[in-house]
Structure formats: structure tokens, C-alpha cells
Amino acid sequence: MIARFPSIARLLKRRAKSEDGSIVVEGARKATGGKGRTRIVMTMAVFFGIYSTITGRLVYLGFQNPDLSGGPQSRVTASRPDIVDRNGEVLATDIKTASLFAEPRRIVDADEAIEKLATVLPEIDYEQTYHKLKSGAGFVWLQRQLTPKQQSDIMQLGVPGFGFRTEKRRFYPAGETSSYIVGLTNIDNQGISGMEKYIDEQGLSDLQASGLAVAKDLKPVQLSIDLRVQHIVRDEVATGMEKYRAIAAGAVVLNIKTGEVMAMASVPDFDPNNPYNAQDKDRLNRMSAGLYEMGSTLKSFTTAMALDSGKVTLESRFDASRPIRIGRQTIHDFHGKARVLSVPEVFIYSSNIGSAKEAEAVGIEGHREFLHRLGILEKMQTELPEVARPTEPKVWKQVHSITIAFGHGVSTTPLQTAVGCAALLNGGYLIQPTFLRRAQEQAMSVAKKVVSDKTVESMRYLYALNAEKGSGRNARVPGYRVGGKTGTAEKVVNGRYSKDKNFNAFVAAFPMDDPQYIVLTIADEPRPEKPGMGATAASNAGVMAANIIRRSASMLGVKPDFSHENGATLVSYQ
């Protein structure tokens, strides 16, 4: 029957082949293979896209500036060399300290964190700290240079997101004693004043920036000052300021053979370990950065100028019997003798009239040239950055020369005055001052001859004579043959010279047979020590100079010698 129906037979045959599976499997394989390849291609495309995105991001970031918010810069902990005195005593050194930072992204509750921190650091600025902790930055400083106790107490708070970084900070063992000389560093241990700033300017800041300021490679910087003498000078000027109720006082001890500053102090001063008041307007290094009319101390230069010109000798005489009238000004003597005076008398009586006539003998141009020659009116060249530029009239006229002859009309610094006086006594050589150790041979290689040997001999005599018979008597110290010159200048207040506000100075030298040191002291607006007493330089600045010499001479290597007492050094000139 099946044979009769060939179409049915063909259908059954086809079904049989399908049941056998050969035809079905082959078709499935073909379908499955096409779909698999599609999935693989799609997977590869996805991974390629992901890796391309990552690679592109890395390349982008590679060309961006680094994010410095994640931590402090390395210069914060850059090392500085120790600063030592001429005997090796440490004046400034690096110490390790901890600084507190926060990672704001890890701070859970900023208010709670600040409240806890305030229990240890009550001075912290709440609003500023709150903004820092809420900034979302990776790193912020909260407080630099903590004490060990503060660090320990903050650690006990257990605030997540707070951490510490070890830094270097500057420590000054001498404190206020040498603050104006040594100077200060800022929070990042960079010099901002005094010798600290000078050291940076000599290349230390470049080493720090390049990461080459390694502690073991930095040699100590040795200064010229003697810490023992520095302590005496600072103590005497601080005592003098209080004793004479002055608004300021200062002093410098200068080696006249080398130009080395052995000690220098100015008060009020500050503690470099806690310099909260260092920027106050009364905190000024008056010895190098203060400008003053130096009063009768400038008569040293007037007399030396007259003698060095060859137009005046010690035997010359000047009529000081009447005041000098020039224009609307009248020049008087403070304690006038109303007679003709010899040059030594002009000096020891500090005659304004006699000094004016000495200047007239030289002339205006010669007068100006001499003061510039001695550096009195030039900006001083030394390592200390805090140096003021002297002032003088733009055009010198006769009235200017006359008033400048006795110390009015030009302003200079006390340190420059000391340096100029040293040149009159050390053999006639102007030697710029230094705060670094310097041998005499080195000093002479940069020295400049400014006055003759004969002028030096005469000035030594006049300084010794003034201490014996003139206004310098209060500065005498038995055994040390001190000579000197006072200077009492009326201060300018509201454009006029004040009768009750003085700037006093005393310049002393010792030992006068072969001077080794200059001591210059100042007292700004001193008052009488007792009712009825005066407030002239002899009664305050001169006394301060004597005390400094008395206490420091042996430390400076000057031995007492009593063989020249009672005016023996003056015999050959009288």
C-alpha cells in the first residue's frame, strides 16, 4: 500500500533522516557558531573600550600639575646650619618638632573634632579651622611646631583624620641676648632677618629648594661676636634703659683692628623663640637700622677733618667769645667759656662755636667729602640686612656745614659712627664692620686709608684728654686707659628741636696708648636719674660705656695696666 503512495514514502524517508539526528545537529552547529562569534566580538569591544578609557585618563593626568594638597612640601623640613659665636657657643640650631595636620575627607564630625582640639590648643581659630576641616581637601595644616606635651595630648583625643609630621624648627639658646644679630626664620625655617637671612642669601635657600640642604653637609656659621660680651652688653643697655627711663638704648663693641663686631644690642628687643612682638614698631635694631643726629660725637670728625686738612693744628685757636649768627639762626655753646679756645679746648669743652669755625677753615666741599670718605654718609656695607641709609642735605650751604660740624643736620647710624671713630684711632684705616670672624690680615686687605698717621696721633690724645679733663670723665675705668667723646643731641619733634627730648651717645676707646676696641652706647630720650640731675650723655650713655668696659675688658683679652694712670699719657702734649 505504501508503494502505491510514493509521496507518503518520501515523507517517511525524510522524517527518518531527521530522527537519525544528522541533519538537525548540523543545522544547530551552524546557528550556534554564528551567535558565539558575535558574543566574543562584543566582549572584546567592551574590554577594549574600558582599557582605552583608563589609558586615556592616565595620559591626561601625566600632563597635569601634581596635586600638592596631599601633603607638605619637602622644603618645610629643610635643614639649616648651626650659628655659633667666635668661641663655638651655639646661637641657633635646628631641633625636631611635631606639626599637626588633618585629612578633611576622613573627618566625620568637624564640630566635635574642633571642640576636642580646643581643649589642647585653646588659641586655635574655630572658624578658620572649621573651614579647613570641611574643605574636602586631602591635607591641611592645623598647627605647626607643637610642644611634645601638646602632641601627646592631641594623640590622646583619638580623632580620626588627625596626624603629625616631624619637622625642623629653629631654636635659639641665647634668647633675647643676640636676637637682632642672629635674626629669625619663618614657619618654614627660612631666614627672614639678621644673619639667618644673610645665610639664605648666600645660597642656602637654593640648596633647600633643590633638596641638597642635608644637615650633615652643612658646616656651622661662625660669627664674630663673643656671647659672654654680648650678654654683658645686652644686660647693661637693658639696665640703663630702665634706670634712665629711656624709650630705647643700645651699644656696640667693635674691634678697631679687624672691624669685627664683638657684641651689639638694642632694646627693646624680642625673644626669637617666641617672636610674637618682633614686628612691633618699637622693635628696631637701632644700632644699624636707626638713623639719628649723633650730636657732639660728630665733633670727633670735625676736629679730625680740620687737623687732617693741614689748615689746623693742635696749637690753633678759635674765637668762641660770641655766638655765631647765620641767617635766622644763632649758634651758642652749651657751657660756653666766652673766650678764645685752643683745639684741645674746643674738643673737651664740646664747643659748638669752635667746631663751626673748624668747619669754616676747611670749607663746605671739603667738609662733605671728609664725611663721605669716612663712610658716615654712605650706606654701610656689612652682612646684616637691617642697615639704614644716612641722610644729608641735597645741597650743602654754609648753614648746613656749620650745624653739621656739631652734630645737627645729618642723620646716620650709631654703628657707622663707631666705625668712623675707629678709623681715627686705628692708624687711619676705614674697615667696614663684619659679623663674621676675620683676621687682621684679612681686614687690612680691604681697608682704606682715610686719615694721616699724625691725625690719628692727635685724635688719640684728644680722646684721652677728654676722659681725663672733659665730658668723658664718667667713662673712665681704672687700669684700662679709656678715652671718649660725649654726644647730646636735641631730637626733632614736629619739625622743631625739642628742649626736653634728647638722643644721647658716648663713644669710648681703650686702651688709649694702643686702642683695640670701640664701645659706643646710646640712650634715646633718657630722663634724669634723680631730681636735680641732668640727662646729658655723660650721666647715662657714658656710665653705660664704663660698665661695659669694666665687665668685658678681661674677656676681650685686654689686661689692666696702672702705669699710665693720673694723666701720664698726656704729658708729652701739654
**What is the 3-state secondary structure of 525-550?**
CCCCCCCCCCCCHHHCHHHHHHHHHH
Stretch 134-153: mean pLDDT: 89
CA-based max dimension of the chain: 176
What residues are annotated to the active site? 296
Stretch 252-258: mean pLDDT: 98
Stretch 375-383: mean pLDDT: 96
Q: Has residue 29 got a pLDDT over 90?
A: no
Stretch 249-266: mean pLDDT: 98
Stretch 112-123: mean pLDDT: 92
Stretch 275-294: mean pLDDT: 94
Report the pLDDT value the prediction gives residue 47, as an integer from 0 to 100.
Answer: 72
Lowest mean pLDDT among 2-6, 253-257, 522-526: 2-6
pLDDT tens profile 191-222: 999 999 999 998 776 666 666 556 666 899 99
User: Which residue in 551, 567, 569, 473 sits closest to 515, CA to CA?
Assistant: 569
Query: Could you give the domains of the chain?
Result: 83-222 (3.90.1310.10), 230-570 (3.40.710.10)
User: Which residue in 571, 555, 554 sits closest to 563, CA to CA?
Assistant: 571
Stretch 569-574: mean pLDDT: 40
CA–CA distance, 195 with 91 (Å, rounded to integer): 11
Report the pLDDT value the prediction gives residue 68, as an integer from 0 to 100.
Answer: 42
Helix, strand, coil shares of the chain, percent, nearest 5, are: 45, 20, 35
Tally Cβ neighbours within 10 Å of residue 438. Answer: 18
Confidence of residue 108 (pLDDT cuts 50, 70, 90): confident
pLDDT tens profile 259-282: 999 999 999 999 999 999 999 999
Backbone dihedral angles phi then psi of residue 532, each to the nearest 5 degrees: 90, -15
Report the pLDDT value the prediction gives residue 2, as an integer from 0 to 100.
Answer: 42
pLDDT tens profile 39-97: 777 777 777 777 777 777 666 656 555 444 444 443 455 689 999 999 999 999 999 88
Stretch 384-405: mean pLDDT: 95
Looking at residue 316, the DSSP 8-state letter turns out to be -
pLDDT tens profile 482-515: 999 999 998 988 888 888 899 999 999 999 999 9
CA–CA distance, 250 with 414 (Å, rounded to integer): 9
CA–CA distance, 81 with 388 (Å, rounded to integer): 27
Q: Has residue 141 got a pLDDT over 70?
A: yes
